[in-house]
Structure 1
Amino acid sequence: MSDSVQTRPLRVAIVGAGPAGIYAADALMKSDAASDGGISIDLFERMPAPFGLIRYGVAPDHPRIKGIITALHKVLDKPSVRLLGNIDYGSDITLEDLHNFYDAVIFSTGANADRALNIPGIELDGSYGAADFVSWYDGHPDVPRTWPLEAEKVAVLGVGNVALDIARVLAKTGDELLPTEIPANVYEGLKANKAVEVHVFGRRGPAQAKFTPLELRELDHSPTIEVIVDPEDIDYDEGSEQARRNSKQVDMVANTLQDWAIRDVGNRPHKLFLHFFESPTEVLGEDGKVVGLRTERTQLDGTGNVKGTGKFNDWDVQAVYRAVGYLSQNIAKLPFDEQAGTVPNEAGRVIADDTAEGNDRFMPATYVTGWIKRGPVGLIGHTKGDANETVANLLEDRSGFAEPANPSEDAIIDFLEGKQVPYTTWQGWYRLDAHERSLGEPEGRERIKVVERHEMVAASEPDKARNR
């Protein structure tokens, strides 16, 4: 970095304004560099609104998790951070453009696609990915406004929190979810939902489930959902017992499942079954539609892993939702590991040439953080550690950054306005937020989420006067 750079703030672009991107902005602002010469950060977001996964990936009946927005809000309120929303990286702005305006670029684009499950029949009508369904009930502007909810019996494949969210939303009534922020189209869809049985399948045992204890217990809070666990599915080997001893959370989950397995089944109208030791092997079809699920019974092998028994079970279901993990999508002009679903990196530095040595291995001034860096694992809070590591390396590298051609804060605004990109701003989010709250107020609801992109942009009334 030339001496002239010392007289201006370090300019950093962050692509993706979800938790990972906002945590990276926070880490930058708390660094020594912020006091040395100042930091100037622009967060680019594809949606007209910020918060990423919190807004479009968390079930609407989880206000506790959505409370994380309060902390993220404080970061975006800082004067050295600017939000530029409704901007599509790759078309509205390119990597070359970003390096033209900024000293460094951090990608925090997350993971919003479904990981594949390669079993026969997975492509049948009535077989769905978790990410698509979550996007629908969370009012994502880029997905269809309707969802087919004709199945009376539904299978959910996976034993993580996303699987629990899907099972719970499918098993609840539309009226139970009406007090949340769901838009009218989602309420109408859920109100017409015909599901009365939801079956959740895991190929391993209770000690290997990836639920968090609180999320699991919340299943039992609904007055309409009877949670059922088969006593035969409560089994532990030495590896499982070790997992329980090593983790309080694993032990809490196992204890909750045990308690449910020994209680009498009640009479709540919707049944939600949690099945363990059932490995999905085929989605059964007829005339191109789902008519069942075939699983192989498994058993523990002593280490906490399982092996097949050769015994198969057929389940009468008319829809299958796979919740077997999210997958990040390729980012234009960046290398991508299709298998891992991540951008190859070393502690956040993007690797351009793995055969080179030293700094020649890395793309200049280009970094990743969050799920695009390490894959879609861990809770939202884990992204803080990712951000701290990436930012530390960015700041370590800054003396070698090339001087951008147009580093002034106005230059990027001139560029976007020159291309007539209808960008939104942080002040625009305040207006959209107030609008959504005003929609909910007559019904006694905190907010009603706006779905249509053009309506979000209109409600944001993006100001083009070089302000935030």
Structure 2
Amino acid sequence: MVEPSPYRVAIVGAGPAGLFTAQHLVRQQQVPVLIDIFDRLPTPFGLLRYGVAPDHTSIRSVARALAHTFDSTRVRFLGTVELGRDLTRRGLVEAYDAVVYAVGASGDLMLRVPGEELPGSGSARQFVAWYGGHPDAAPQSLHGVRSVACVGVGNVAVDVARILAKDPAQLAATDMPETVLAELTASAVTDIWIIGRRGPQYASYTTRELRELLTTPGLAVTIEDGAGEVAGTADDNTAEQAGLDRRTRANIEALREAAARPDPVPVRRRLHFLFWHRPVALHGAARVERLELERTTLGPDGAVIPAGAVPGGGTRTIPVDLVLRAIGYRSTRLPDVPFDDARGVIPNREGRVLDTDGRALPGEYVTGWIKRGATGVIGTNKADAAQTVAHLLEDLPTLPRHPADPLVELRLHGVDPTTYDDWLAIDAAEIARGAALGRPRVKINAWAELMRLCRSGDPDACPDSTLY
């Protein structure tokens, strides 16, 4: 009996969503598959490498587990290949039996207030990319910055606040790039604000991350406009009686404990939680100097509205030198791929990509944030990928076959991908650099150096065109 030739699947994006997809495909026994994982970077792991705070080493273990996906002889990593630059959607669809888009979310939401264009107004996403060592990240200067406002009450704002509040000597035990560590060491930040337009019971940060921030050595914590909800009232002095879920109760208890503690001696930084406020303008002559905030409340439908008509309403202004918005990520359109601009996702039905008429496009699938929006934690991508893969496997027998190796065609058109061996060379160089400095690893964050370490110019180092 002749064995059926393997199906060829392309995954665009080597972050958690793409790697969980590959993992599900490798582990299933229904049909034989060969998998090419494309990424525009020479390094796999996406958000696990560049979006997880350097001091959160336990989460990085997920990357080590997903790295075993590349142990399979049926999987290739093709780095420094970008959709729209090096290959087209049509080229992918014509070369592979199935294509899965798993590119995540590379944009972020805007405040849309006057003054947002001033220097000193930026994105927490970009700030995270900088301290995470992403090669595309713009350098962040903390020169002259004493007060920082993080707008948003999720884990991104909490992570940024913790990195700013932490003693840089503690960060030296991480893989943070030397240039970033030097900037944080020279920082003169004294005050950090976390600002939310709703109360503490609506915050989306997780308890573990919140407690980690609140227990940062040398950090004094105050809570403004929300202190009553944290402390409770005579009629309702426990969060449990308010009908809140377990996470929210734990968050409020953590805030309560922090607010009740005496200030540490000495105080290195001060952290201010300001709830029930939203930005209305950023002010300054040449750069951000002040943040104007408007008191908020909830309308009958639960929407956030100005609280100017209620006691204590109106606006207030706080002096700040840097404002970082952390109000959500957003996926961006891929060249020639259907996209729902309103929702910031590729339109799909349980992972099957849909055209403008709502019909499934044969052989095209999506997973991760660009499938469902920027929600959930890293582990959420596992179940999300499983759903997409289930439909892909169901569809494969009905799809046109493409038996030829697409890498041959890519090379004919001058595309020379980097490989997983190239990533291993980068990995080894980072570990060696760290050892020389007495650190476990030092991340390389310059494109030129990353590419120098890659052996893409050596044909013998490229993936074999006939073997996986």
TM-score, structure 1 as length reference = 0.90
Aligned Cα RMSD in Å? 2.4
2:41 to 41, 47, 50: 47
- By how many angstroms is 1:428 displaced? 2.0
1:191-244: per-residue Cα shift (whole Å, max 9, x none)?
Answer: 222211111101111111111111011113432332332485341899x96897
Partners of 1:20 and 1:242 in 2: how far apart? 36
Q: Which residue of 2 aligns with 1:74?
A: 68
Distance change >3 Å, CA 297–CA 328, structure 1 → 2: same
- By how many angstroms is 1:28 displaced? 1.4
Q: Tell me whether 17-26 or 218-227 shows the greater mean CA deviation.
A: 218-227
Q: Which residue of 2 aligns with 1:372?
A: 370
Q: Which residue of 2 aligns with 1:18?
A: 15
| Residue correspondence of structure 1 range 277-292 to structure 2 within 5 A | 277-283=276-282, 285-292=283-290
Partners of 1:396 and 1:215 in 2: how far apart? 40
1:457 to 451, 458, 461: 451
Partners of 2:126 and 2:239 in 1: how far apart? 36
Partners of 2:242 and 2:29 in 1: how far apart? 42
Partners of 2:51 and 2:315 in 1: how far apart? 34
1:344 to 347, 350, 362: 347
Contact 1:130–1:162 (Cα < 8 Å) also in 2: yes
SS at match of 2:307: strand
Partners of 2:182 and 2:208 in 1: how far apart? 29
- By how many angstroms is 1:288 displaced? 3.7
SS at match of 2:391: helix
1:236-291: per-residue Cα shift (whole Å, max 9, x none)?
Answer: 899x96897463212111110111222223332111112211222222x2324211
Contact 1:204–1:305 (Cα < 8 Å) also in 2: no
Contact 1:114–1:326 (Cα < 8 Å) also in 2: yes
Distance change >3 Å, CA 434–CA 56, structure 1 → 2: same
Q: Which residue of 1 aligns with 2:336?
A: 333
1:410-458: per-residue Cα shift (whole Å, max 9, x none)?
Answer: x333233333334221222222211110110122211111112232233
Partners of 1:143 and 1:220 in 2: how far apart? 28
- By how many angstroms is 1:400 displaced? 2.1
- By how many angstroms is 1:14 displaced? 0.2
Partners of 2:243 and 2:439 in 1: how far apart? 43
Q: Which residue of 1 aligns with 2:82?
A: 88
Partners of 1:242 and 1:17 in 2: how far apart? 42
Q: Which residue of 2 aligns with 1:253?
A: 251
Give the gaps of 5 or more residues in structure 1: 356-360
2:162 to 168, 171, 187: 168
Q: Which residue of 2 aligns with 1:397?
A: 395
Distance change >3 Å, CA 94–CA 242, structure 1 → 2: farther
| Residue correspondence of structure 1 range 247-326 to structure 2 within 5 A | 247-267=245-265, 268-283=267-282, 285-299=283-297, 307-310=305-308, 311-326=314-329
Q: Tell me whether 191-200 or 43-52 shows the greater mean CA deviation.
A: 191-200
Letter in 1 for 2:383: G
Partners of 2:114 and 2:410 in 1: how far apart? 47
Identity level (%): 38
1:438 aligns with 2:432: yes
Partners of 1:263 and 1:464 in 2: how far apart? 58
Distance change >3 Å, CA 243–CA 345, structure 1 → 2: farther
Contact 1:22–1:76 (Cα < 8 Å) also in 2: no
1:105-130: per-residue Cα shift (whole Å, max 9, x none)?
Answer: 00000002111211222111110011
Q: Which residue of 2 aligns with 1:358?
A: none
Count of residue pairs the alignment pairs up: 451
Partners of 1:415 and 1:388 in 2: how far apart? 30
Letter in 1 for 2:12: V
